[in-house]
Amino acid sequence: MSSEKEQIKNTINEVQKVVDLFYQQNDKDAFDKFLIVLEDMTNAIDNLATYKNTNPGFAMDDKKIFSILSNAMEALESDDKVLLADILQYDFIEYIESLVEKME
């Protein structure tokens, strides 16, 4: 497995931990961990973009990722922790996992 793919999988696991903390209503720990994981999420997206540039057949929808992150930011701004967790779980994690499965 490439180091980029491994980094993305690790990020997915870390985001899942944040989601679990939000669902457990452990908001302080969730936000503390989320601040750390944000950089990993950025790196994972960068790794996917780099992979897309070097593998023309790789179908990654940049607009979809931007939309997911925008929705997450709106949930964060409105202090809707459950919505934020749902977006991370059902939009971000699921989409990124589907991309990782397509990586060689």
- Residue-wise pLDDT tens digits, 46-69: 999 999 999 989 999 999 999 999
**Distance (Å, whole) CA 11 – CA 64:** 18
Neighbouring residues of 37: CB distance < 8 A, sequence distance ≥ 6: 11, 14, 15, 17, 18
pLDDT value at position 92?
98
Work out the average pLDDT over 69-76: 96
What is the DSSP code (8-state) at residue 93? Answer: I
Residue type, 15: V
How large is the C-alpha radius of gyration of the chain? 14
Whether this prediction's pTM lies above 0.85 is answered by yes
pLDDT of residue 2: 82
Q: Report the run of H or E that residue 73 belongs to, with start and end.
A: helix 62-77
Asked if the model's pLDDT at residue 1 lies above 70, the reply is no
Q: What percent of the chain has pLDDT over 70?
A: 99
Tell me the per-residue pLDDT of 26-52, one tens digit each, with 9 for 90 and over: 999 999 999 999 999 999 999 999 999
Angstrom distance (rounded) from CA 93 to CA 89: 5
**In the chain, pLDDT over 90 holds for what percent of residues?**
94
Residue 36 pLDDT: 95
Tokens matching residue 42: 């950025």
HSE-up of residue 64 (Cα within 13 Å, Cβ side): 13
- Dist. CA 65–CA 93, nearest whole Å: 11
Task: State residue 104's pLDDT score.
Answer: 81
